[in-house]
Amino acid sequence: MTVGSGAVAGRADELNGFRIGVTSDRRSTDLIAALERRGAQVLHAPALKIAPNDSDGPLVRQTQDLILARPDVVLVTTGYGIQRWFEVADAAGLGAELTAVLEQATIYARGPKAVAAVRAAGLEDAQTTELNTTASLVDAVSAHGLTGRRVAIQLHGCTDEVQLARLRGVSASVLTVTPYRWVRPTSADRLLRLIEAATRHHLDAVVFTSAPGAVATLDAAEAAGLGPAFVAALRNEVMAAAVGPVTAEPLRIAGITPVVPDRYRLGALIREICQQLSHHHVESFRSGDVLIELRGRSVTVGGRTVVLGPNALAILRTLARSEAVVSRAGLSSALPEVLDDHALEVAISRLRRTLDTPGLITTVVRRGYRLNAVRES
């Protein structure tokens, strides 16, 4: 997955103040670089990694079996899978034979990226399915009268056993080719830190670029005893973003509604993240002639920007979102850390010094605190 042709437009400061979690491994460098260029702070924690290929022997043998079997139908699930398959086949001296066999087959590919990779390999007759799912590939076999044939399917990192069983049920024989596998990272500490950061609202967004990665993240949160808190965070304060509907589906099943770009590409995903965060996750208030803008982890007061700590940020957000006085108990319940009355007073005093705007936060005797500002429309 790459940013692709055409620049991903956006201001250099568009994501200033926002902290974003990235769960992908493959080609994550492009995504992280694009977010950081726009001012975001990125927490990277791959949920899954592509297994190292110490030996390509199994893939070479699968390719040899396919060449001998000469399948009538070939189903392609990922562009990266096709690229890697041909790299290994060429290195093993099987590239020309593989191409000749596939030229005689009917090829269906899961989505435009897979079609593009097939055509880049010199196979011009690949057809795409309407939906970017493995199920749609199996549906195509039946819908186009291709049942009872010899079928080969290129599997991606996590095998969909349900769809594979469906395919075997309508085919004379099924060969599988697996150019790569997903595995969990050796250390789960980084992913756990990302999950904890999201549950404490220390992240503004979490980005997912594959369905297996989304499932692995949800599973890791559940295993750590943080499943409900993680899902609640992504339903409310922390935006979830998915590169496409297939990636979004495990999140939706969990009750999370992620933002999904109209075009299922990395560039479109970056634009959608920028638009959602900069347009819908920025809060503006005015106190007299002073403009206060909350952007993620930062606050801009009269043109001066400072990054706030978790407690200070929670206090300011709670006061800003209330049109009335907020009690001590109300403020304390909104904080990520439990503070007694004295510690709360100290935290508010520090926030006042940071904001450096006299009268902005006032104490209402025996009732609590109030932000003397009006929300900008």
Tens-digit pLDDT profile for residues 117-136: 999 998 887 888 877 788 99
Is residue 12 situated within a structural domain? Answer: no
CATH code: domain of residue 301: 1.10.10.10
CATH code: domain of residue 65: 3.40.50.10090
Query: How far apart, in whole angstroms, are the C-alpha atoms of residue 14 and residue 19?
Result: 12
Cα 172 → chain centroid: 38
Q: Is residue 120 located within the same domain as residue 76?
A: yes
189: pLDDT strictly greater than 80:
yes
5: pLDDT strictly greater than 60:
no
Residues 6+ apart with CB under 8 A from 285: 291, 292, 293, 294, 320, 371, 373, 374, 375, 376
Maximum separation of any 2 CA atoms in the chain, in Å: 85
Query: How far apart, in whole angstroms, are the C-alpha atoms of residue 109 and residue 121?
Result: 13
Is residue 219 situated within a structural domain? Answer: yes
Count of positions (residues) in the chain:
377
Q: Which amino acid is at 131?
A: L
Domain end position, chosen among 121, 156, 180: 180
Q: Is residue 275 located within the same domain as residue 286?
A: no
Is residue 11 situated within a structural domain? Answer: no
pLDDT for res 195: 97
Q: Is residue 286 located within the same domain as residue 339?
A: yes
Q: Is residue 205 located within the same domain as residue 276?
A: yes
Q: Is residue 127 located within the same domain as residue 190?
A: no
Q: Is residue 208 located within the same domain as residue 219?
A: yes
Q: Which of 104, 55, 40, 111 is nearest to 82 (CA)?
A: 111
Cα 355 → chain centroid: 34
Q: Which domain holds residue 309?
A: 282-375
pLDDT for res 129: 83
* pTM to 2 decimal places: 0.77
Is residue 207 situated within a structural domain? Answer: yes
Q: Is residue 192 located within the same domain as residue 238?
A: yes
Domains: count for the chain: 3
- Say if CB 126 and CB 118 are below 8 A apart: yes
Is residue 36 situated within a structural domain? Answer: yes
Q: Is residue 224 located within the same domain as residue 82?
A: no
Is residue 14 situated within a structural domain? Answer: no
Q: Is residue 164 located within the same domain as residue 76?
A: yes
When mean pLDDT is compared across 114-123, 182-191, 215-224, the lowest value belongs to 182-191
Tens-digit pLDDT profile for residues 55-78: 688 899 999 999 999 999 999 998
CB atoms within 10 A of CB 14: 20
Percent of the chain at pLDDT > 70 equals 95
pLDDT for res 2: 40
Is residue 7 situated within a structural domain? Answer: no
Q: Is residue 291 located within the same domain as residue 234?
A: no
Domain end position, chosen among 249, 280, 311: 280
Is residue 246 situated within a structural domain? Answer: yes
264 compared with 43, residue with greater pLDDT: 43
Structural tokens at position 174: 């099924």
Q: Is residue 64 located within the same domain as residue 31?
A: no
CB atoms within 10 A of CB 66: 25
Q: Which amino acid is at 304?
A: R
Segment 83-91 mean pLDDT: 93
The interaxial angle of helices 227-235 and 211-223, nearest 10 deg, is 130
149 compared with 56, residue with greater pLDDT: 149
Domain end position, chosen among 230, 264, 280: 280
Q: Is residue 62 located within the same domain as residue 175?
A: yes
Tens-digit pLDDT profile for residues 191-207: 999 999 999 888 999 99
